[in-house]
Amino acid sequence: MDTAERIRYEIDVTDVEYIKHGDKPYCARVYKPKGQGPFPLLIDIHGGAWVNKDRLADEGTDTPIAKTGVVVASLDFRMPADGAGCAYPASLQDINYAVRWFKANAAQFNVDPKRVAILGVSSGGHQAMLTAMRPNDFADIAGPAGVDASVQCAVMCWPVIDPLGRYEYAQGLLGGQHEKQAKNWIDCHNKYWGSTEVMAKANPTRLLERGEKALTPPVVYLQGTADLAHPVPNRDRFINEYRKLGGKVDLHLFEGVGEAFITNDPTSPQARSAVEKMIEFLHRELG
């Protein structure tokens, strides 16, 4: 549908608890169009190098998507600062459970459980892509019977698509002009992952290179050409391997902007164009 012809909806925004660990609730911010529905569902996984930010980080993306007739659920999930047992793989277990929980509660949110997508930003892109490729992994938290975490498509916003590759890249920047950023990335990796062996294992790019089984739902991949945090060789290796398996990847590059360009300024021309690319992709793939 042409942009000018697309229906624009008013939305309700609410916070919903989807799981609790001990005494700590974990919520999703839900952006729900006001309309007949049922609508497709988009699960949003925020970035922050696996250790920072929260469900509010992507408001500049989530709101315009929801206004086109998509229910968006932006998740909080366990991170290392939450305490013992909250590093890898806790967040992936929460994300897997959240996809299943929203499907099981589709009627509550006016959602069609057969039309579900996942979006991830930076480290959230790693987690979203791994969930899309391996929806039966990390299903450690018991949930509703007969519901899995499979999705119909995935939106990748400058993902850390090869965690070990990014770790090695950051180490190579030590001693140079980007040492401060590199030290921060290395510290965050260490807090979440614990070892390079785990970074290599739970890794969308390297599991494809190892020939492991994976689903290949359609992907739209967005990145700025001045992105320092997400190395181009890692991106290209992933896309090449994904396409070898028959997976479809639409790559869109945005000139002159770096990582988090939508988060930092959702009103910029590049950000608006990127969000429109997401909207076009979601409505094409989900109907």
Q: How far apart are CA 157 and CA 252, in angstroms?
A: 10
Domains of the chain: 3-162+215-286 (3.40.50.1820)
- Taking 70 as the threshold, does the pLDDT of residue 221 lie above it? yes
Residue that has been written with the tokens 């992936």 in this structure: 92
Q: What share of the chain is helix, strand, coil (3-state, %, to 5)?
A: 40, 20, 40
Please give the Cα distance from 149 to 154 (Å, whole number). Answer: 13
pTM of the model: 0.97
Q: What are the beta bridge partners of residue 15? A: 29
* 85 alpha-carbon distance from chain centroid: 22
CA–CA gap between residue 287 and residue 282 (Å, rounded): 8
Tell me if residue 164 falls in helix, strand or coil: helix
Q: How far is CA 192 from CA 52, 57, 184, 251, in A?
A: 11, 19, 12, 28
151-210 pLDDT tens trace: 999 999 999 999 999 999 999 999 999 999 999 999 999 999 999 999 999 999 999 999
Q: How confident is the model at residue 3 (pLDDT cuts 50, 70, 90)?
A: low
Do 173 and 179 form a contact (C-beta atoms < 8 A)? yes
